[in-house]
Structure 1
Amino acid sequence: MQTPLTHKLQIRYPILQAPMAGGPTTPELIAAVSNAGGLGNLGAGYLTPEQIDQAIREIKERTAHPFGVNLFVPEPFTESVDEIRQMNNSLNSYRARLGIAQDPEITKYAESFEEQIQAVLDGGVPVCSFTFGIPGASVIEALKQRGTVVIGTATTVEEAIRLEAAGMDAIVAQGSEAGGHRGAFLNRQDEPLIGTMALVPQMIDQVSLPVIAAGGIMDGRGLAASLALGASAVQMGTAFLACPESGAHPVYKQKVLTAHEEETSVTPVYSGKAARGIVTAFMKDMNQYAGEIPPYPIQNALTRDIRQAAAKANNPEYMSLWAGQGVRLATTRSAADIVRHTVDQAMSILNR
């Protein structure tokens, strides 16, 4: 189970818990995975600098082992008053059903990336990963000067080549099976959606960095297959969604435990950026929307009140239920049991 990446990260097993932003990655989950020999990761893309600082402190109270923090690299976007007005007119019908205010005032679309980075630097985080692009050279250099391992996310070989050239230490190869937001940053219009099995070996042949396989990996079978393809580790998200330490909403967990592999889809309707989740009534309705969906992070801010109200009402049909195509294999095992079971199963397969 030892690979170049486990040595670099100083972890026992080549298993990374995916940094699922929006609540699932609690300090309890992150610490449990790290204590079990994997690498827990905080999905901090939506957190304020103060929340990041607090979370880092809480994680460190629960584990002395390495862990990571993930941030979203900001992309340029165009704000269209007409697009926003048309979208709000459409979203107001959902607000009416949920009994919340129409046309809510939005003061900001996203947290300050610079302030988030400063919180990570101040926190002395062992690992920092990025999604949606490549941070500036000064950010990468500042992290490395603090001894932080820097990891990028790629959905194509070309994106991986760009990440290596930028100075990343490792690359997550995110296959199309993966739940949550797509990390694509070069193919914005017509994303190719390359599967993990096809993506990983092609990426390994073209870059010299350790590659982390992600997408559809739920247990030791996926770990063994990924190692056979040449990956240095796997990143598992959906596998941990329904575990006791996960901060996912109870109805979200229940949907994960009952959903089948054909019941997920990639959609931009919740956030303005392509993401894979369990199909909901909101997704079905909004897929018929005739106008232009505002880009991320505008659409994400516009739908936030609807998602939050749906969560309070225990109504999964208007929540974003991010999950991958391996969802049928999700269990209620504890995080530590998931790590142990994955390792034992992989070892059995590889020995056989």
Structure 2
Amino acid sequence: MSSALTDLFPHPIVQAPMAGGVSVPRLAAAVSEAGGLGFLAAGYKTADGMYQEIKQLRGLTGRPFGVNLFMPQPEYADAASVGVYAHQLSGEAAWYGTELGDPDSGRDDGYEVKLAVLLDNPVPVVSFHFGVPSREVVDSLHRVGTFVLAAATTVEEALAVRRSGADAVIAQGVEAGGHQGTHRDHPENDGAGIGIGLLSLVAQIRETVDIPVVAAGGIMRGSQIAAVLAAGASAAQLGTAFLATPESGASDLHKQALTNPLFARTELTRAFSGRPARGLVNRFLREHGRYAPAAYPEIHHLTSPLRKAAAKAGDAQGMALWAGQGHRLARDLPAGQLVHVLAGELAAAQTALTAGGGAR
């Protein structure tokens, strides 16, 4: 990573921007204050909601932080398949005593307005998910002093990030919790074995593009951070590890589910949003995942009232319990303390690696 960007956060630890109310200002502030890079998630928020969170975060810390934006989605969903899925979910709506959401509630997540806010009120770092911003957008952010990152799940996507002029690529392995940051959603790729593991992805990207790599996907321990740094990454991005902290905005049900034996594994599913996302396997995922169409954000809007009703009812079996493959390693530590623990584990792992190399 460029020295200027690295200097923003002493520890190579980035807190992933988790949309849906998880990455709140107090979480980002705690991570940044501890020497990592805290992130706000602008996804699913209004532009004013994003701006208010930025103001709140600036009141909590003077250290650098980032804001994540969702790229607008192309219109390729099959309306008929969305209607069929809505019919299949009618029983869920009746069970929870709510209505299904309007699938046509918007596709661009307020992208242009949010960009305007970030250009008028620059933040240190902006990252992008679900695609790559134009070169003009990247250049405009650079002009106001903002570093730009974008997610990639393949070498081809990393090349697109490089062409955009971004400062670094976030290599998202298939182990990652929440939504895969694929630039285009290809339903034909659904199925077992699809997706690249993080270490392989980092190595492939490092040999193909000449910009720094931030590694993301299933990282829960400092020893894993050491592994991705050894593979060529400049920093590691952790989501599920910070989801369990008291500062995160995740519900108590979600936090408890991470280590609850009832939720033994994760799967990539379209059940809740219409886009592949990794979550803990619960009843809703098992019953509806196989039928959910490739229709994002239509399915996200459709199921939003169901997810909220399940959370209100205290029913984790109906919630979107996003989590990475390392979820069982979650630790109930304050976010700042977790950064320090991870940094200590990283240092110990690197020392052991150096000592082992020297012994040979």
TM > 0.5: yes
Match status 1:14 vs 2:9:
no
Question: Equivalents in 2 of 1:42, 1:5: separation in Å?
Answer: 23
Question: Equivalents in 2 of 1:252, 1:124: separation in Å?
Answer: 33
Corresponding residue to 1:93 among 91, 94, 111: 91
Verify the 8 A CA contact 2:263 2:280 in the aligned structure 1: no
Question: Equivalents in 1 of 2:8, 2:247: separation in Å?
Answer: 23
Question: Equivalents in 1 of 2:3, 2:217: separation in Å?
Answer: 18
Equivalent position of 1:52 in the other structure: 50
Deviations 1:136-183 (A, max 9, x none): 222212111110000010001111011101101001110010000001
Q: Which moved more, 1:300-309 or 1:182-191?
A: 182-191
Amino acid at match of 2:150: G
The number of residue pairs the alignment matches comes to: 347
Amino acid at match of 2:225: L
Equivalent position of 2:241 in the other structure: 239
Corresponding residue to 1:285 among 284, 287, 292: 287
Equivalent position of 2:199 in the other structure: 197
Equivalent position of 1:66 in the other structure: 64
Q: Which runs of 5+ in 1 are unaligned?
A: none
CA separation of 1:160 and 1:81: change in aligned 2, threshold 3 A = closer
1:272-311 → structure 2 map (5 Å cutoff): 272-289=274-291, 293-311=293-311
Amino acid at match of 1:201: A
Match status 1:209 vs 2:206:
no
Q: Which runs of 5+ in 2 are unaligned?
A: 353-360
Corresponding residue to 1:257 among 256, 259, 273: 259
Output the TM-score relative to the length of structure 2.
0.92
Deviations 1:89-145 (A, max 9, x none): 1111101110113x5546623432101211222231110000111112222121111
1:22-33 → structure 2 map (5 Å cutoff): 22-33=20-31
Verify the 8 A CA contact 1:25 1:246 in the aligned structure 2: yes
Offset at residue 84 of structure 1 (A): 2.9
Offset at residue 81 of structure 1 (A): 3.9
Verify the 8 A CA contact 2:168 2:212 in the aligned structure 1: yes
Q: Which moved more, 1:173-182 or 1:311-320?
A: 311-320
Question: Equivalents in 1 of 2:350, 2:261: separation in Å?
Answer: 30
Offset at residue 80 of structure 1 (A): 4.1
Question: Equivalents in 2 of 1:169, 1:127: separation in Å?
Answer: 10
Question: Equivalents in 2 of 1:169, 1:104: separation in Å?
Answer: 38
Corresponding residue to 1:168 among 160, 166, 169: 166
Verify the 8 A CA contact 1:211 1:232 in the aligned structure 2: yes
Amino acid at match of 2:223: R
Offset at residue 256 of structure 1 (A): 1.1
Amino acid at match of 2:289: N
**What is the SS of the residue equivalent to 1:45?**
coil
Question: Equivalents in 2 of 1:6, 1:350: separation in Å?
Answer: 23
Verify the 8 A CA contact 2:77 2:296 in the aligned structure 1: no
Verify the 8 A CA contact 2:263 2:281 in the aligned structure 1: no
CA separation of 1:82 and 1:182: change in aligned 2, threshold 3 A = same
Amino acid at match of 1:99: G
Question: Equivalents in 1 of 2:160, 2:126: separation in Å?
Answer: 18
**What is the SS of the residue equivalent to 2:89?**
helix
Equivalent position of 1:109 in the other structure: 106
Amino acid at match of 2:180: R
Question: Equivalents in 1 of 2:30, 2:22: separation in Å?
Answer: 13
Amino acid at match of 2:197: G
Deviations 1:232-252 (A, max 9, x none): 000000001110100001101
**What is the SS of the residue equivalent to 1:276?**
strand
Output the TM-score relative to the length of structure 1.
0.94
Question: Equivalents in 1 of 2:83, 2:255: separation in Å?
Answer: 34
Question: Equivalents in 2 of 1:261, 1:172: separation in Å?
Answer: 28
Offset at residue 78 of structure 1 (A): 3.1
Q: Which moved more, 1:235-244 or 1:86-95?
A: 86-95
Question: Equivalents in 1 of 2:311, 2:4: separation in Å?
Answer: 37
Corresponding residue to 1:131 among 129, 141, 154: 129
Q: Which moved more, 1:115-124 or 1:272-281?
A: 115-124
Question: Equivalents in 1 of 2:197, 2:262: separation in Å?
Answer: 18
**What is the SS of the residue equivalent to 1:269?**
coil
